[in-house]
A and B are shown apart, each in its own frame.
Chain A
Amino acid sequence: MTSGKSHIIKDWRKRCLQILGTGLAFGVYLFLLAPSLIVTPVSFGSKYELKFPPASYSLDLYRIFFSTEAWTQPLLLSLRVALSTTVIATFIAVPAAYGLVRFNFLGKKFLLALIMSPLVIPSVVFALGIYLYFSTLRLGGTTLGLIVAHTMFVIPYALVIISAGVQKLDPNLEFGAMLMGAGRLRMLMTVVLPQLYPSIAAGALFAFLISFDEVVISWFLAGPNTTTLSVKMFSAIQWEISPVIAAVSTILTAVSLVVCLINVALQKGGEQSS
């Protein structure tokens, strides 16, 4: 009887703790999502004042954004830089991932540390180094300079994702193909690459988003004609709290949402295959 009662009390206590834990967790989820949740309604609000919730809804801010050259120029530049960066970084990261997973060689650890260094070095330090370096090369303020710097910056992310894909491949298939007389290149093109497409697509997608969102390096390298969307936004938030920024923010959030859903889908796929 008494043991049954204490059991109920214990259960009740456990239940309380669980509810508390869930409540706290949802509080944190709300805190994490708050920026995206706030920015979206504001972006459909009035062009005259920043108000939440907006008094009336319209597409004015988007219309202003897409018809103002001071915003569309940076948008186009960001898209150009992010696309070029993605293509170059993918072409470099795919073979590098394969080489680093499949081979052992002298200086591999050093090379890996060097390639991954943009993840650890504070972006400001990296940005300053590139700024000083590119100034002497006269690459400062050029689109080419931005693309080169971004390529280095996004490669670690692409490499992590693509090498995870390489690690899941069965090396015996590769041996088998070569044993059957396929040359190395043919084996790579017909056995390795097709299996890697999902990881390559994911790596490329993340590379694109990271380049598109990158601020610090672009801020240091920006010239009068090479202001990316993120740099334009950074200075706009600092100097003029214009409601148009809400529209830009919502567009960026939408892009992030797409990337995040693909991220989830990939994780699910990974769990199923393992």
Chain B
Amino acid sequence: MVTSATRGAGPFVAPAAILSLLVALVPIAFILYFSTMEGTSVEPFRTILKSSLFHRAMTTTVVVAFWASIISLVLGYIVALHLARQTARRRAALMVLVLLPFWTSILVKSYAFTIILGREGIINSFLSWLTGAQVALPLIFNRFGVMVGMTNYLTPLIVFPVLASLLAIDPALYRAAEVMGAKPIRIFLTITLPLSAPGVLAGVLSVAVMALGFFIVPALLGGRQDLMLANLVDFYTREVLDWNIASAVGVTLFALVGIFAIPATLIRRTKGRIAS
């Protein structure tokens, strides 16, 4: 290995350092500053703690993020398991089916789901045609719509880490287990599942971090009762025009995300990859 130099990094990292100090650190300082009324009081936090709107948004955020992460994990695991069993060539081809949704704008997805799930949307029209009666299932502007939109966005993010850990499993283990007479389900439970745990954990934590901060999907596919903390930040900033309260909600959301982000970074660090 080549020893890394300890001097001379300055010119390389200076622009990035200046930018991130000015445009990442200062904005965070601004939120903290506003949330504490210029550092003088915790009144904004006291106000939101008393607000039933905040309580409901907080509960919604945690519950929705939890279930969206779990459902995405199940869906993502199914796909990763399928991809892991393909030849490298076929896997590369099938990967497009995961990468295209991964790169698709969240607005496109939300819009498409309004067409699919709407009152006169594809699913309801199809069911009406099938049954011959007017079917108008409420699939959108409620918790269900939010879940569909979020899992659609988050599932690809589970596939990548889980696939990586599935591919790292030594195929000899499977052969040995099979020779010893283990049934497929037993092989899955005793080899595949435990050995893919690092990927699962990394995937679920990073997905949970994203899910907690969701803004677009609840705004477009959720109803009034599905406001999440991110929507509350927007609501206080634009409708109520109370920057102190908006910042206090933002700080709370940030802290909530921190609970999941810290273990996620620790896991990544133990993998020993820089900036990955």
Contacts and interface: CB of A to CB of B under 8 A. Distances in A.
Interface of A: 10, 13-14, 17-18, 21-22, 24-25, 28-29, 31-36, 38-39, 42, 50, 52, 91-93, 95-105, 108, 111-112, 114-118, 120-126, 128-133, 148-149, 151-152, 155, 159-160, 163-164, 167, 171-172, 175, 209, 213, 215-216, 219-220, 230, 233-234, 237-238, 241, 245-246, 249, 252-253, 256-257, 259-261, 263-264, 267-268, 271
B57 interface: no
Interface stretch (B11-19, B47-55, B193-201): B11-19
Given A125-B253, A128-B247, A237-B111, A32 B20 contact: no
A268 B92 contact: yes
A88 to B, nearest CB: 9
Contacts of B12: 95-96, 98-100, 102-103
B133 interface: no
B78 A33 contact: no
B155 A32 contact: yes
B261 to A, nearest CB: 5
B259 to A, nearest CB: 12
A42 B115 contact: yes
Nearest to A257: B100
A152 B97 contact: no
B180 to A, nearest CB: 13
A148 B95 contact: no
B237 A271 contact: no
A34 to B, nearest CB: 7
Contacts of A230: 105, 107
* Chain A binding surface, main DSSP class: helix
A124 B15 contact: no
Contact of B108 (A111, A117, A121, A253): A253
Interface string B135-151: 00000000000000000
* Chain B binding surface, main DSSP class: helix
Given A24-B78, A123-B215, A132-B30, A260 B103 contact: yes
Given A38-B116, A92-B19, A103-B5, A25 B108 contact: no
A38 B112 contact: yes
29 contacts: A28-B79, A31-B155, A34-B112, A34-B116, A35-B152, A92-B15, A95-B11, A96-B16, A98-B12, A103-B4, A103-B12, A105-B13, A120-B261, A123-B215, A123-B230, A128-B250, A129-B250, A132-B30, A159-B16, A160-B275, A163-B275, A234-B107, A234-B219, A234-B220, A238-B220, A249-B112, A256-B105, A259-B103, A264-B92
A103 B11 CA distance: 11
Contacts of B97: 29, 32-33
A155 B24 CA distance: 11
